[in-house]
Chains A and B, each alone.
Chain A
Amino acid sequence: MVQPIPVPEDSINATPALDVQGLSVEFPTRRGVLTAIDDVSMQIAPGEILGVVGESGAGKSITGLAVLGLLEHPGRIAQGAIHVGGRRVDTLSEAELTKVRGREMGAIFQDPLTALNPLFTVGKQLVETIRLHTPLSKAQAEERALELLRSVGIPAPEERLRQYPHQFSGGMRQRVVIALALAAGPRLIIADEPTTALDVSIQAQITALLRKLCDETGVGIMLVTHDMGVIAETADRVCVMYSGRVVESGPVSDVIHNPQHPYTKGLMAAIPSLHDRVEVLSQIDGSMPRLNARPSGCAFHPRCPYAGAKCAAQKPPLQQVGSTRAACWLQQGGTE
């Protein structure tokens, strides 16, 4: 097991790994400002996996990139505050952010090759990352690199340290990226579709690994995916995003088995079952609106079977409904 690198003695458990409040992200374009993320809030406790799920374009990746401070120009944070391990990060300078990013936050993306340098051995990349962000000596860093490879389940790590990324299979490369993300003992890992490019049997290995690391090191993980099955098997809580907003959030099993928001209900019903066969799948007609054509009020209203006059006029806030939080007028006094 990898020892967590000691963090200052402030009570780790009380400070969330991630706290996002009222985040909005805009992309100014020639035809006006597009709001990709609109008033999103979420928290991740240490040792917790928060799933962020939604259709493509819902704003999952942009949320993750905003937290990492990696929004592409001209994207910008228009509103809100982001704290990682109790420290505000959205107001930091680029130089400060670069430090915090490696030390406090790690990132895992869909394609492991983009995160690895093809010209250096895996060992060299690990050791450099460790030394950049920790006071460890070269020998200690090498020891830790070995430990990290072992903990992410790479067989014969001594030999693997001397190999180049192209000598690893897709699943093994993703393990190396996870080891890199863990290198400095971060409090938060943003994992954006980390298993989407992998085969199912390998996908299961990687999600099992994320769970194990979370339990062992207390790192908080934001697991971004469009696959509800991966969320069900990996996350503790889940945020469902639709058109730039969180429409429902709560403990995984409650959101899956007892969803409150009409979009979540539709989404869950549209997934073919592994156990029962139905003649016709339930479907949500239409598709998610583009950013430049986001409907007024509740953005789901043109597709929603329960929509009333109020839905087109006013945005519903996210409020506690039973065991989950949902942004829907139905449970907040009606849709008329």
Chain B
Amino acid sequence: MNVVLEDTAPALSVSHVSKVFDVSAPWLNRVIERRPKLYVEAVSDISFTVEKGTCFSIVGESGCGKSTVARLVTGLYATTNGDIRFGTGAKGRPIKVQMIFQDPHSSLNPRWRVGDIIAEPIREMKLRDTEKETLDRVRELLETVGLGADDALKYPHEFSGGQRQRISIARALASEPELLVCDEPTSALDVSVQAQILNLMRRLQDELGLTYLFISHDLSVVRHMSNHIAVMYLGRIVEQAPVEELFTNPQHPYSKLLLATIPDIENPKRRVEAQAGEPPSPLNPPSGCAFHPRCPVALSKCSQSAPDLCPVSPEGKVACFVAQAAETADPVPVAL
């Protein structure tokens, strides 16, 4: 039956999506200084699916394209190539998406009362019939995120960073989304407050059946939140796996580097020797596998051709010649 099929379909399918930005100097300067047009491929040919009710995370270093993926999924940018599809949500309509940003200070209008900030999408999308129902809904949302009904009358500056992030979450929930795209939602918060927000997000996921596309550079946060993880390097997904698999048995040399360099409170490394190079400029990406200048196990072909993202375990995929060769030497069943 059609409906059943759609119900089990992923909440989000991203296939072969690329995004190219034109970062050329202004036309006149180019003509005078004889400079060519300049493009950055911020995201190149990435594919992934997010199952309903799960959390899919994207990790990677600054500039690797995480936020660009978030903005493509929420429609803030148009794709250059590929397509993004949403599964079926409530009442048979496509799943609704909302975004939560890193900085709760700049994402809330300072001149509006919190109640109006949260009510705006409800009024805009006419989700409630009367003003009273709208205000009831605002009150309910404030309580859902752990604030009080009387906070509706205050202004954003009267709240701490963590409380402001709660307000952003309430506003995102106001339009009744089923998929929340969260771009570094706790990076601007202190750890004790971060724990409050992460706990809130997990509770909301259980209570409302939300699906998350979660973006962070903090691997311990990602480990806490996600079911699946994709590791990005210079615009590409280099490895993708269930969370336990990625943390206990990373396959890609870059995933290994990330896990090896992240500060670990429980087993501090206290190193005095530095590790492996720097991320290259996205304006001028290395040939072949973009990681090859930093890769400790690079082969000669790595600088000539780029490896595809191929399955190496039932749910794990990796884009690395060496890791793929290791897997074919010791084959595992691959799910279709």
B148 proximal to A (CB < 8 A)? no
Which residues of chain A (45-59) have a CB below 8 Å from chain B? 55-56
A172 at the interface (CB under 8 A from B): yes
Interface centre among B160, B192, B258, B276 (most CB of A within 10 A): B192
B195 within 8 A of A: yes
Q: For B162, what are the chain A residues with a Cβ–Cβ distance below 8 Å? A: 287
Interface residues of B in 192-206 (CB under 8 A from A): 192-196, 198-199, 202
By the criterion CB–CB under 8 Å, are A233 and B270 in contact?
Answer: yes
The reply to whether B272 and A212 contact each other, CB–CB distance below 8 Å, is yes
Contact A285–B196 (Cβ < 8 Å)? yes
Q: Which residue of B lies closest to A253 (CB)?
A: B268
Interface string of B18-46 (1 = CB under 8 A from A): 00000000000000000000000000000
Contact A172 B258 (CB under 8 A): no
The A interface, classified by DSSP as helix, strand, loop or mixed, is helix
Interface centre among B162, B191, B243 (most CB of A within 10 A): B191
CA distance A257 to B143 in the complex (A): 36
The reply to whether B272 and A215 contact each other, CB–CB distance below 8 Å, is yes
A267 touches B217 (CB 8 A): no
Select A208's contact among B62, B219, B272, B279, beta carbons within 8 Å: B272
Q: Is the CB of B202 within 8 A of A199?
A: no
On whether A283 and B196 interact (CB within 8 A), knowing A204-B274, A271-B220, the answer reads yes
Bitwise, B242-273 to A at CB < 8 A (1) or not (0) is 01000100000000011001111110111111
Q: Which residue of A lies closest to B197 (CB)?
A: A283
A266: CB under 8 A from chain B? yes
Q: Which of A1-9, A128-136, A273-281, A322-330 is the contact stretch?
A: A273-281
Interface residues on A, range: 35 or more
Contact, CB under 8 Å: A270 / B194: yes
Contacting pair A281 B61 (CB below 8 A): no
Q: Is the CB of A201 within 8 A of B275?
A: yes
Closest residue of chain A to B220 (Cβ to Cβ) is A272
| B49 sits at the interface (CB 8 A) | no
Contact with B along A190-201 (1 / 0, CB 8 A): 000000000111
The reply to whether B221 and A280 contact each other, CB–CB distance below 8 Å, is no
**Hey, which chain B residues are within 8 Å of A227, CB to CB?**
263
| Contact yes or no, B258 A200, CB < 8 A | yes
Shortest CB-to-CB span from A257 to chain B, Å, is 9
Q: Is A228 interfacial (CB 8 A cutoff)?
A: yes
| A153 to B278 alpha-carbon distance, docked (Å) | 12
Q: Is the CB of A281 within 8 A of B270?
A: no
Docked complex Cα distance between A226 and B262 (Å): 15
Whether A203 contacts B261 in the complex (CB less than 8 A), given A234-B270, A281-B195, comes out as yes
**Residues of A bordering B, CB below 8 Å:** 55-56, 153, 169, 171-172, 199-205, 207-209, 211-212, 215, 226-230, 232-234, 252-253, 256, 266-268, 270-275, 277-285, 287-288
A-B contact pairs, 30 of them (CB 8 A): A55-B191, A55-B192, A200-B219, A201-B275, A202-B278, A204-B271, A211-B271, A211-B272, A227-B263, A228-B191, A232-B265, A233-B270, A252-B268, A271-B265, A272-B220, A273-B220, A273-B224, A273-B266, A274-B223, A274-B247, A274-B262, A274-B264, A274-B265, A279-B202, A281-B199, A282-B195, A283-B192, A283-B195, A283-B196, A287-B190
Residues in B lying within 8 Å of A, measured CB to CB: 61-62, 160-163, 190-196, 198-199, 202, 217, 219-221, 223-224, 243, 247, 257-258, 261-266, 268-276, 278-279
